[in-house]
Amino acid sequence: MMTDSEVLPAHDAPAARTAAAARREHVGRLLQHHGALIVLAVLVVVGSVAFDFFATPENAASVVVSSSFLAIIALGMTFVIISGGIDLSVGSLFVLGGVLAAYGSQAGVVVALLLPLAVCGTFGLVQGLIIARTGMAPFIVTLAGLLGVRGLMLALSNEGATTYLVKNPAFAALGQGELFGLTYPVYIAAALALLCMLLLQRTGFGQNVFAIGGNEHAATLMGVPVVRTKVLVYLMSGLLAGLAGALNAARLSSGVTILGIGLELDVIAAVVIGGTLLTGGAGSVTGTVSGVLLLGVIQSLINQIGDLTSSFQQVVSGGFLALVVIAQRLLSKAQRLN
Amino acid sequence: MTDTTTAAPATRVDRTRLFAWLQEYGVYAAVLTLLVLNVLFTPRFLDVANFRTQLVQVTPIVIVSLGMALVIGTQGIDLSVGSVMALSAAMVVLYLGYGVLPALIVALVAGAAVGAAGGSLVAYVGVQPIVATLALLVGVRGLANVLVPQLMEFRNPDLIALGSSSVAGVPIIVVIAAALTLLMAFLVRRTTFGRQVVAIGGNRTASELSGLPVKRVLMTVYMISGALAALAGVLATARLQASDPTSLGLFIELSAITAVVVGGTPLAGGRIRVLSTVMGALLMQLLSATLIKHNLPQSWTQMVQAVIILTAVYVTRERGPR
């Protein structure tokens, strides 16, 4: 899918560069782009061999179903991070989306979906406008967003005391209905992933996102619509977080006010593990999907190894994230030297 | 195309001066205003007990944000501080059998070790501070929970005394925080190390070229931040009279970053304002206390905080292309 094999021969190779170095660089790029996928495959194989319960369809389905919500948010985050930004508000937007969807489901399915999308989209839009227009750091703007959105969520839910229940069966079916043993959110996540892949790889918008993340100043000089692209990227992130929240509310039949706190960190970890550079300018949707699934598989393995508590999952995720960023750094250093 | 400063030159100069003034004194003015408003409108605000409660509550945030100010001064960020607090809370009860001092030392060493891990990722491997410390945030919280899975009470009288006794009416932990503030102010303003930290934050390449020990200084900065977070964890545990790695220090990184930013330290590095950072922490505490005293719910506090953060950063932001 990537264009490595086409780029390498066309490169004007200096005489000193040996075939071994070229091969090393090729392996390096492969690792950076598909590292998460490789580790995922290894883990799945090891898990299937080592534990009987791991390779069962039920377990696979549970991993995929629980990953789908993280995946939807991570898609938006992928665009944000490739553009050189970060969005810390998605965890709060996810919760807000759930509360709004459960609240709106009293008035029908359409309202239950549109209300969270409209509100979360507006938050994304405003954050994008502030970031793009004033040049304030995305980190701090979305941090304020995290607090503000959480405050709004608490205000709506009577300081977290009220949990709106989804009593609309049609809306609940959206999160709970099954097709071939998998719930609808899995298919929605898959369709969105495909869409995002096309958007990132095959459209001018995707190219603009890469250009801004690679070098914003150069992108501005080349006439890339920097402000518009940035605003769109944060709008997308907000919309996807709201959608994931709405689907989650449908799955749980209620707008839970405590889940999803700190979710932004899981999402960022998944995106980074998937090979998207936090410095911007490089990354892929497939990598992000692999990263999300990898975190899901790690969690599933640890849950099933009896005497390990879920705290171990955090230790492993944190350690893994550290390894990935070290590897990314070394790989990109090696590439720059070549 | 999208220049926001298209106003006439005269008003622009005024705005620049206003922003500079706000960055310099805004936080003091805000604290003063809130104090005056409270004295006028909040019943029993001037009680000594009230001040004590507020100060004791804000102490962990103040201590953590001192380290955070140092890290942000180097153009970095330390997200791991809350998890370090949890780890030190776990460590201190595990080693309490050897006495308070050894347990305290173990906790501080553990915090500094986490800081060293983050610092070496940032300084030697070249990982961005936000990811390096994010990995630690996730991993170290897990580690603390593995060590002490659930709330663990303790009965060591010395540690309890550390959390609850007072010197001349002032709680010991507040005295410690005040002493650390002065120490940090001295470190930043009057020592070579402080100058080096600010220089690295201002321009890392130039610092490297002029022969500053950039990597060593960065490492030290993150270790100091880790050790301070660990101390905050121990003090909070002492006050709680129980070790609670699951929830201790949760989201304190946000409060600490807020305090630093509201205090006027630019996120772009190169400048550290220690006393203003403490003022920033006090402002946020005072704000939430004021809202609570007037029966406004927690949700309001968070929304107001969001607005204050945005205003503070807008005022201190760097102008021009970076």
Considering only alpha carbons, which residue of chain B is nearest residue A280? B128
Residues of A in contact with B127 (CB under 8 A): 325-326, 329
Distance (Å) from the C-alpha of residue A313 to the closest C-alpha of chain B?
A: 7
CA closest to B3 among chain A residues: A133
Residue-wise DSSP of A248-269: HHHHHTB--SSTTTTHHHHHHH
- Give which of A231, A148, A36 is closest to B311, Cα–Cα: A148
Distance CA A32, CA A19 (A): 20
Each residue of A153-183: b (16+ CB within 10 Å) or e?
Answer: bbbbbeebeebbebebeebbebbbeeeeebb
**Tens of pLDDT along chain B (322 residues)?**
444 444 455 566 677 777 777 777 888 888 888 888 888 887 777 778 888 888 888 999 999 999 999 999 998 999 999 999 999 999 999 998 898 899 999 999 999 999 999 999 999 988 888 888 888 988 898 899 889 888 888 888 888 888 888 888 888 999 999 999 999 999 999 999 999 999 999 888 899 899 899 999 999 999 999 999 999 999 999 988 888 888 888 888 888 988 998 888 888 888 888 999 999 999 888 888 888 888 888 788 888 888 888 888 887 765 433 3
Closest to B104 in 3D by CA, of B228, B244, B234, B238:
B234
Q: Which amino acid is at B120?
A: S
Domain ranges of chain A: 34-337
3-class secondary-structure state, position A43:
helix
- SS3 for B246? coil
Q: A34-337 adopts what CATH topology?
A: ABC transporter involved in vitamin B12 uptake, BtuC (1.10.3470)
**What contacts A110, CB < 8 A, 6 or more positions away?**
none
Residue B302 has its nearest CB partner, among A147, A314, A325, at A147
Alpha-carbon distance of A315 to A320, in angstroms, equals: 8
Whether A76 and A192 have beta carbons less than 8 Å apart is answered as: no
CA dihedral over A224, A225, A226, A232, signed as positive or negative: negative
Residue of B nearest to A320 (CA): B135
Residue A308 phi, psi (nearest 5): -95, 135
Give the count of alpha carbons within 13 A of A182, CB side only. 16
The CA distance from A103 to A90, in Å, is 19
Q: How far is B306 from chain A (nearest CA, A)?
A: 4
pLDDT at position A119, please? 92
pLDDT digits (tens, 9 = 90+) for A108-125: 888 888 889 999 999 999
- Greater confidence (A269 vs A170) lies with A269
How far from chain centre, in Å, is Cα B307? 19
| Type of residue at A136 | M
Residue type, B282: L
Name the residue of chain B whose CA is nearest to A144's CA. Answer: B306
Classify residue A21 by burial, with Cβ atoms within 10 Å: 0-12, 13-18, 19+. middle
- In angstroms, rounded to a whole number, what is the distance separating the alpha carbons of residues A239 and A230? 14
Instruction: Dig out the tokens for A264 from the structure.
Output: 């932004």
Query: Whose CA is closest to A227, among B29, B30, B215, B4?
Result: B4
Tell me the pairing of strands B152-153 and B166-167.
Answer: unpaired
Q: What is the pLDDT of residues A4-59, one digit of tens each?
A: 444 444 445 454 556 777 777 677 677 667 777 888 888 888 888 887 777 788 88
**Per-residue pLDDT at A1:** 40
CA–CA–CA angle A254, A233, A226 (5° rounding):
160
For chain B, say whether A258 makes contact (Cβ under 8 Å): no
Is there a contact between A265 and B131 if contact means CB atoms under 8 Å apart?
A: no
Listed by number, the residues of chain B in 52-111 with a beta carbon closer than 8 Å to a beta carbon of chain A are 77
Torsion, Cα of B29, B32, B37, B42 (10° steps): 150
Domains contained in chain B, CATH given: 12-38+50-316 (1.10.3470)
Distance CA A264, CA A81 (A): 12
8 Å CB contact between A246 and B21: no
How far CA A232 is from CA of A75, A122, A127, A239, in Å, comes to 14, 11, 10, 10
Q: How far apart are CA A266 and CA A258, in angstroms?
A: 16
Distance from CA of A242 to the nearest CA of B (A): 19
Look up the ipTM and state it: 0.74
**What is the pTM assigned to this prediction?**
0.83
> Is residue A322 less than 8 Å (CB to CB) from chain B?
yes
Q: List, in sequence order, the alpha helices (H) in A223-310.
A: 226-252, 263-273, 285-304
**β strands within A160-246, DSSP E:** 178-179, 182-183
CA distance A159 to A184: 31
Query: Does A154 contact B121 at a Cβ distance shorter than 8 Å?
Result: no
What's the pLDDT at B16? 76
The span from the CA of B56 to the CA of B51, in Å, is 9
10 Å CB burial of residue A191 (0-12, 13-18, 19+) is: exposed
Residues of A in contact with B1 (CB under 8 A): 227
